[in-house]
Amino acid sequence: MLSIKNLNVNIANKEILKDFNLDIKEGEVHVIMGTNGVGKSTLVKALSDHYDCEVTKGEVTFKGKNLLELDASERANEGIFMSFQNPVEVHGVNNMYFLKSAVNEKRAYKKQEEVNSAQFLKEVKSIIKEYNLNDEIIKRNVNEGFSGGEKKKNEMLQLLVLKPELIMLDEIDSGLDIDAIKLVAKAVNSMLDGKRSVLMITHYDRLLELIKPDYVHILKDGKIIKSGDYNLALELQKRGFEGVGEDNESS
């Protein structure tokens, strides 16, 4: 699904990722771990064409297409979903309007007709009910005045409505209480159908207990220095990044 080869990414003229390699196949859940400032957010930002990032070298293909040729909205329309570490407030834009526009933009890209408004409202309301979200969430403007937890729940509402193929989550669990973490896990797990894939960044194994990763990677000095399964996350939790060593293996 996603193949990253020798990717180099600069931020503010500083080299953050260097010869980074990663392959994500259909249905796989990958986790990137690493110390603060190592470049975890840079990776997912570069993959979603964030303006902070400058890709200076490398190849990225998504479903066989050259991802680097696509702009941010084309990448979203192709099926990439990105939940930022700090979701932005979109002032003056009603959340329900935003959700519907996002879905319709994706449908137009795929040459499908617009969603039926009544049916779409019904779908959104059933998600709100199933996930115990506040009804107000679709009446308010996008993230405007939302608490940190409400913003992350709104990201999950977007996820459930957009049904992307590659789900990228950047520290979705930071600052969330255990009920909100469970909600995130339920939403992400509901999307996992053997075809969709996940690339997530987290510091905590609490989320990983609920969304079982297939692969855990440690990022250091611009590349993956060690890969393993869920046990690597448990080992990290116990011994820290200094304690687990390197094997210079990239997946």
**Residue ranges that bind Mg ion, judged by CB under 5 A:** 36, 40-41
Rounded-to-integer distance, Cα 20 and Cα 32, Å? 12
Helix, strand, or coil here: 94? strand
142 binds, among Mg ion, ligand ADP, none (CB under 5 to 8 A by kind): none
Q: In angstroms, give the least distance from the CB of 86 to Mg ion.
A: 9
Q: In angstroms, give the least distance from the CB of 34 to ligand ADP.
A: 6
Residues sharing a CB contact under 8 Å with residue 167, sequence separation 6 or more, in sequence order: 81, 83, 159, 188, 191, 196, 197, 198, 199, 200
Strand order in the sheet with 53-62: 14-24, 2-11, 53-62, 65-66
Closest to ligand ADP by CB, 12 vs 88, is 12
The H or E element that residue 79 is part of is: none
Please give the residue ranges that form the binding site for ligand ADP (CB under 6 A). Answer: 11-12, 16, 34, 36-42, 52
Cα–Cα nearest to 5, from 62, 49, 54: 62
Rounded-to-integer distance, Cα 47 and Cα 11, Å? 14
Closest to Mg ion by CB, 11 vs 121, is 11
Which pair of structure tokens corresponds to residue 148? 């940190």
Q: In angstroms, give the least distance from the CB of 92 to ligand ADP.
A: 25
**What is the number of H-type helices and E-type strands within the chain?**
8, 10
Closest to Mg ion by CB, 200 vs 232, is 200
Q: In angstroms, give the least distance from the CB of 203 to Mg ion.
A: 8
Closest to Mg ion by CB, 14 vs 111, is 14
Q: In angstroms, give the least distance from the CB of 225 to ligand ADP.
A: 14
Task: Output the residue with the shortest Cβ distance to Mg ion.
Answer: 41
Closest to ligand ADP by CB, 145 vs 148, is 148
228 binds, among Mg ion, ligand ADP, none (CB under 5 to 8 A by kind): none
